[in-house]
Structure 1
Amino acid sequence: MSITEGLSQSVELKKPLTALVNKGCVPVGGIYRLDYDSAVVLTDDFKKKEAGGVPRGGFLLAVAGDNTDSGFILEDQEVILLRVRGTAPLPNESELIQTRLAVVRDAGASGVGFDDVTDVLTRNELQQSAFDCEVLGTFYTENDARDASIEYGADIDNVVVSARYQVYLPSTEVLSWLASYPEPEDTQDALTIGKVRFAATRRKALIAGTDQAEVRISVSDFVGRKTAVFGMTRTGKSNTIKTLVTAVHRYGSEHKRSIGQLIFDPQGEYANVNKQDHTGLRLLGDDESTVRIYKVEPSSADSREKPLRINFYDREVLEAAWSLVSEATTPVDTNYGKSFRSSVLSEPDPNDRSRYSRWAWAAVAFYGLLAKCGFEAESLPQPLIIAAETGPMKDFLGNHPKVQVQAGRSGSYRIISPAAALALTEWIGERESEFPKWHDTKDCHFSAIWGVYKYTGVTSAIRSIRAFHGPNSAGDVGQHLWQDMQAGRLAIVDLSSGNDKVAKVMSERVVTHLLNKASERFRADHEPVEMQIIVEEAHNLFERGGREVTEDPWVRLSKEAAKYRMGLIYATQEVTSVDKRMLSNTSNWLISHLNSDHETRELAHYYDFKVWTPSIIRAEDVGFVRMKTYSGKYIIPVQISKFDHAMVNGARNAAGLASIDAAIEGE
């Protein structure tokens, strides 16, 4: 080779894509059929063994060029990215099958090895096979400069029917680059979420070292966007969510951005420290300035823990209390139950005296019902003022001398306590014939509420949510959480003490409140409050196609949240349980094991997850996911890293907090 040729090759080898192919990539064959969507790669058993195996779903690089003593020189600065879908028949497949049959038969009959009944040429011929590959796209540079940036197109712009395309299996370094493309420009935006994993069986990957190929993602992809985490129970969904929440927390600290995160926790696993490895999201902060955990029974010794309860007698949260009570009685599908739930308790304008008076009587009946069901409180935070005829009220007060009802002017009375509301409701309710107009249900739902006082199905259902009543609680939890989001805190709502109905109503109310507050800021042209909402066991909260957008806060969130910079991470076992309108607006997908083809068929409608359905159904390994991110160009199979103290301490250090020792925390 002349000096000129040597210099020319040296220049070529430094071009970005040529350098990429020469970073330890191993040749596995060549293309003998190519079109815009697929390719068939000819290979043989020897090349596959030398490469360390080629798994289904694996990446291959097809390049046109020449082998030289210095390395492979690309003919043009472009590399076609292929994904192995399976095997393909060779043109002479029928002949090969006949030959293989003869070899197996002869070897079996003679009791000797296969190599003993074939010659070298036949053995080489029998070892040939082909891969059926999907064309994912093309890596290319816009010019041939050594510092040219590598671009990616999700297709190919020309088909060359040529045998010059050689196919390489990426090395560990190149595989990591492929799995992380495009690399975040900001190193503080990068998160090593795990390592590439193509198959449940990992022997060949362990030998070849490709199991060490790291996958790096952009944390910013998950801020202000929708993320779906699908998988069966115990397949690592919670671990994935903890990793993402911690990464966003760290990202906010490092970029001086206030990003609030709200987790609806149905099982209490996020609100508490894990007893096995002593990790937990609550460790991201030492006090309530960073982390707040809303529980039914908060610990007075931990400033991070706040009461989840509301005072059901507080008129500021009357609508929330009525929603929880109505939802709790939904299983009671009788006429009494339906009539009760049809009541309207929204407080009207006090200037509309007639309507306000009818509402006040309904409120008396409701507060009396709460008292009957064991919702304790010595007094009402705001006395109820009712209008009533003097004669009947004198009879009532005469028979109940100790009841907390104060007479006012012009036939008005102040109801001071829940006990007084209960006593008055029962007095009037038992005398329907004497006071018929007090039972009129037009704009007044006194009768509908009184009608369930003696119906144990309704009262038992209401008693089931007493845990969420706190007589000393002040204000709406939704407003407290809005303030947390404004302050950029991590807020965890522990819903493990209530039933699914209560969790559904409470979470919907909170999300609706946050959306309304965000909408107000948007209309006022104020900077949005950046926040993330994380929902575990989302199938218990979402309704697939059940309601209009305005009535379904989750669908509304998926459609409006982008302009409010509100992100959503939802985890569930069932793709079909999520409204299609939400799925269509989801940017990031992390899919682990699903055991039903009903679910995988639904999943196959999005991106090219159809290619991965056999693996998704078969592989049950914990933390093995197929991932598509907002900036990612294709689906990457990943073994998600285990959430640990190093992640927690990384986020704490970024926020200026000291590291936590795992052993000390576990004591």
Structure 2
Amino acid sequence: MAWAKTGMRGLIMTILNEELSDFQEEGAEEAGGKLAHYVSEDTKVGDLLSLDYTEAIILVHDSLRQEVGGLPMGCFLFATRVEPISKPNADKEDTSLILLRVLGQAPLPNRIETENWRFDAARRSIDSPQQWDADNKTDQFTLNQLRHAGVRCSVLGTFRYAQNDGRWDLNFGADISNFYSGQGMKVYKPIGETLKAIINFTKPMGESHPLAGKPVPVGRVRYSSSEVSVDREAENVQVNIEPTDMLARRTALFGMSRSGKSNTIKTLASAIFDLRKIDSEKGRIGQLIFDVNGEYANDNPQDEGCLRNINVEDVVTYGLFKHPNDEGRRLIKLNFFGENVQDWSDKEGLQRSLDMLFAGKEIIDEHLRGITNAPQYISRFINTNLEPPDARWGRGQQIRYRRNLTVYRAILTAANFNAPSNLQSADIGGLFSNDLRQAMTSVEDERFGRAATTLGQRTVSWNEFYQTLLVLQEFVISGRQGTGMAEFQTFNENYRNRPNGSGEPWNDDMLNGLLYLLSWGGGVGRIRELQERHEPSVESDYSTEIVSELVNGKLVIVDQSIGSPTEIEHTSDRIMWALFNHQRRVFTDPPCNENGELLRDENGN
């Protein structure tokens, strides 16, 4: 009895497995039939001659080429062993379509022979008004042989149906997994619905974006500029792009001049921007456009609209200069002076207030490094770090640091950098001690006495302070070099040995690096070359602002149509490094709800 039950269960399992296998095979054949739907005898162009992992050579005939409307360079073809109106098993290896793109002509094995025939035919008809392929010029057998040609194609990938969670879906892989030298394949030209399926196929990467499924039309298929029949239904296929496919992927757009690249970019940027209308949170995708020709940031009479105007609140424009028709444009410049520090004891707040000053110093250093055979004073200035020291931050350190920054700002004014409205004069009260001023006054040269008087004031003009610094650097530098100014040496020795002092000299490395630049007039002149990158009214670093705008899901357009190549390159690098550093921080410590960012760099030159 037990044996009978066991045998019955085994029989039932066998029947169920057979039914499941039949069901799976039916599903595979149904999927194979869908793939065969793309294959049509009317679109056949030839046979596959050879195939490897990157290229294919196909044999075509003029009559087949003519029936499908020609084979322009760059057009799609596909090779397959799937027959029209069939139901092959989709699980089989050869139930696939190998997508090809025409690259050019390929020589056939009988090339020399056919070239001789063609030469003889042309020679016979050269003095006749008839073409050499006329019936009375060349026999039909020869003509038929001459009408075969080889076409070289690149292998783009493989279409096949595969099971995903029990559902058969059309998949595309950007390669081929195998090929056989002893198997033939027919080659077809996709047109109509088949071409539409290939052109508009989308392959999700990982989880699909929740807003996927909203494709936008960007144009139609156009293989060549000299196309003959643009209205043929077979090839007049609309091209759609899924906006979410642009996210987190590298996308390049190529085309000839006047072929619509800029309008396509506008269409894509607008479509991505409009995702926020579907979902105000997940649809806020930050976009950054480097506008080389100013065609996205500025109104163009040739266009129906301007990308800048699609939304006033969520579109931000930047540029090296103000624009009369764009009042809200922000400047891609820095305030090299930094902000007016209110509390020098707050080290963190001090760092934030001087971020632009530090960034400006980096720009100056980079510029000065380009000087061939730079003198030593340039190297000293470059190596001068204006960041606040990591050591204890007592009152003495604050005075020393404040004095050095004031000297640096005086150098900027001497280089014709306009000071911000809240830094119109040099605040030097308490920065230069009475002992120093007395040491300067004791020098016989009256210039030092006048300089000491100026250094004792609370505020002075930047120009007066700069002229005073020229005297101070002479007093300090020559004293350090031992060529005179024994008064400074005496003062400095007393300063180092003062009770409860740090033992450090009055003139630290930071001050020395700044004063050395003053000892040579050419240094200030080289800094003056950068004054166009300075804007005193700017309140924050543009690179930090742009990253913040992108994180908040805004469309940022950087107008680069005006400005020197050096300025454009430098500002672009600053923006990209700021974005890269932000992304690196997000990668190592991701926030919970930060929206994605899209970077699009479009160059029409």
Structure 1 residue 282 displacement after superposition: 0.9
Q: Is the 8 A contact 2:38 2:194 kept in 1?
A: yes
CA distance in 1, matches of 2:289, 2:266: 10
CA distance in 2, matches of 1:512, 1:398: 49
Letter in 1 for 2:357: L
Please name the residue that 1:476 is paired with: 541
Please name the residue that 1:570 is paired with: 601
Structure 1 residue 462 displacement after superposition: 3.6
Give ranges in structure 1 of 5+ residues lacking alignment. 1-7, 408-413, 533-566, 574-592, 594-667
TM-score normalised to the size of structure 1?
A: 0.64
Structure 1 residue 319 displacement after superposition: 0.4
Letter in 1 for 2:538: S
Secondary structure at the aligned position of 1:366 is classed as helix
Please name the residue that 1:80 is paired with: 98
> Are residue 170 (structure 1) and residue 177 (structure 2) matched?
no
Deviations 1:446-498 (A, max 9, x none): 32332344556415314343xx322x432333343343223222223445565
Secondary structure at the aligned position of 1:340 is classed as helix
Secondary structure at the aligned position of 1:84 is classed as strand
- Taking the TM superposition and a 5 Å limit, the aligned residue runs for 1:372-411 are 372-377=414-419, 379-380=422-423, 383=427, 387-393=431-437, 399=450
- Taking the TM superposition and a 5 Å limit, the aligned residue runs for 1:479-498 are 479-494=544-559, 498=563
Secondary structure at the aligned position of 1:192 is classed as strand
> Are residue 149 (structure 1) and residue 180 (structure 2) matched?
no
Deviations 1:160-207 (A, max 9, x none): 7355x432211133222212223678664424333333334323x637
> Are residue 130 (structure 1) and residue 150 (structure 2) matched?
yes
Please name the residue that 2:385 is paired with: 344
CA distance in 1, matches of 2:415, 2:336: 12
Deviations 1:611-632 (A, max 9, x none): xxxxxxxxxxxxxxxxxxxxxx
Please name the residue that 1:198 is paired with: 223
- The number of equivalent residue pairs is 510
Give ranges in structure 2 of 5+ residues lacking alignment. 1-25, 90-94, 340-352, 442-446, 479-484, 493-504
CA distance in 2, matches of 1:351, 1:142: 67
CA distance in 2, matches of 1:478, 1:12: 55
Secondary structure at the aligned position of 1:343 is classed as coil
Which fold has the larger relative contact order, with Cα–Cα distance below 8 Å and residues 6 or more apart in sequence? Answer: 1
Structure 1 residue 220 displacement after superposition: 2.4
- Taking the TM superposition and a 5 Å limit, the aligned residue runs for 1:641-652 are none
> Are residue 370 (structure 1) and residue 379 (structure 2) matched?
no
Please name the residue that 1:463 is paired with: 531
CA distance in 1, matches of 2:127, 2:326: 78
The range that moved more, 454-463 or 313-322, is 454-463
Please name the residue that 2:592 is paired with: 527
Q: Tell me: CA distance 1:512–1:428, structure 2 relative to 1, closer, same or farther (3 Å).
A: same
CA distance in 2, matches of 1:51, 1:227: 31
Letter in 2 for 1:371: T
Q: Tell me: CA distance 1:40–1:130, structure 2 relative to 1, closer, same or farther (3 Å).
A: same
Deviations 1:396-436 (A, max 9, x none): 99847997x776xxxxxx66764464244234134444446
Secondary structure at the aligned position of 2:230 is classed as helix
Q: Is the 8 A contact 2:333 2:535 kept in 1?
A: yes
Q: Is the 8 A contact 2:517 2:524 kept in 1?
A: no
Please name the residue that 2:297 is paired with: 271
Secondary structure at the aligned position of 1:20 is classed as coil
Structure 1 residue 367 displacement after superposition: 0.8
CA distance in 1, matches of 2:104, 2:34: 30
Structure 1 residue 60 displacement after superposition: 1.8
Q: Tell me: CA distance 1:36–1:462, structure 2 relative to 1, closer, same or farther (3 Å).
A: closer
Q: Tell me: CA distance 1:151–1:475, structure 2 relative to 1, closer, same or farther (3 Å).
A: closer
Structure 1 residue 291 displacement after superposition: 1.8
Letter in 1 for 2:433: E
CA distance in 1, matches of 2:528, 2:37: 72
CA distance in 1, matches of 2:321, 2:127: 77
Secondary structure at the aligned position of 2:37 is classed as helix
Please name the residue that 1:224 is paired with: 248
Q: Tell me: CA distance 1:233–1:352, structure 2 relative to 1, closer, same or farther (3 Å).
A: farther
Structure 1 residue 441 displacement after superposition: 6.0
Compare CA radii of gyration and give the structure with the larger one: 2
CA distance in 1, matches of 2:590, 2:108: 64
Q: Tell me: CA distance 1:79–1:454, structure 2 relative to 1, closer, same or farther (3 Å).
A: closer
Please name the residue that 1:31 is paired with: 48
Structure 1 residue 299 displacement after superposition: 6.7
Structure 1 residue 390 displacement after superposition: 0.7
Structure 1 residue 43 displacement after superposition: 2.4
Secondary structure at the aligned position of 2:241 is classed as strand
CA distance in 2, matches of 1:243, 1:233: 18
Q: Is the 8 A contact 2:297 2:558 kept in 1?
A: yes
Structure 1 residue 105 displacement after superposition: 2.4
Q: Is the 8 A contact 1:42 1:129 kept in 2?
A: yes
Deviations 1:135-165 (A, max 9, x none): 444322348xx984223343154537355x4
State the identity %: 26
Deviations 1:222-261 (A, max 9, x none): 2233445578988866555444433322234434322222
Q: Tell me: CA distance 1:61–1:25, structure 2 relative to 1, closer, same or farther (3 Å).
A: farther
Q: Tell me: CA distance 1:126–1:483, structure 2 relative to 1, closer, same or farther (3 Å).
A: closer
CA distance in 1, matches of 2:521, 2:240: 60
RMSD: 4.2
Q: Is the 8 A contact 1:340 1:451 kept in 2?
A: no
CA distance in 1, matches of 2:258, 2:524: 39
> Are residue 322 (structure 1) and residue 361 (structure 2) matched?
yes
Deviations 1:579-619 (A, max 9, x none): xxxxxxxxxxxxxx9xxxxxxxxxxxxxxxxxxxxxxxxxx
Secondary structure at the aligned position of 2:199 is classed as helix
Q: Is the 8 A contact 1:65 1:72 kept in 2?
A: no
Letter in 1 for 2:601: Y
Secondary structure at the aligned position of 2:305 is classed as coil
- Taking the TM superposition and a 5 Å limit, the aligned residue runs for 1:592-611 are none
Secondary structure at the aligned position of 1:116 is classed as coil
Q: Is the 8 A contact 1:176 1:214 kept in 2?
A: yes
Secondary structure at the aligned position of 1:105 is classed as helix
Q: Is the 8 A contact 1:59 1:81 kept in 2?
A: yes
Letter in 1 for 2:418: E
CA distance in 2, matches of 1:346, 1:232: 49
Letter in 1 for 2:64: K
TM-score normalised to the size of structure 2?
A: 0.70
Letter in 2 for 1:281: L
Secondary structure at the aligned position of 1:42 is classed as strand
Q: Is the 8 A contact 2:293 2:559 kept in 1?
A: yes
Secondary structure at the aligned position of 1:117 is classed as coil
Q: Is the 8 A contact 2:451 2:471 kept in 1?
A: no
Deviations 1:109-129 (A, max 9, x none): 666543212333332233222
Deviations 1:616-650 (A, max 9, x none): xxxxxxxxxxxxxxxxxxxxxxxxxxxxxxxxxxx
- Taking the TM superposition and a 5 Å limit, the aligned residue runs for 1:57-72 are 57-64=74-81, 72=85
Q: Tell me: CA distance 1:527–1:79, structure 2 relative to 1, closer, same or farther (3 Å).
A: same
Q: Is the 8 A contact 1:191 1:218 kept in 2?
A: yes
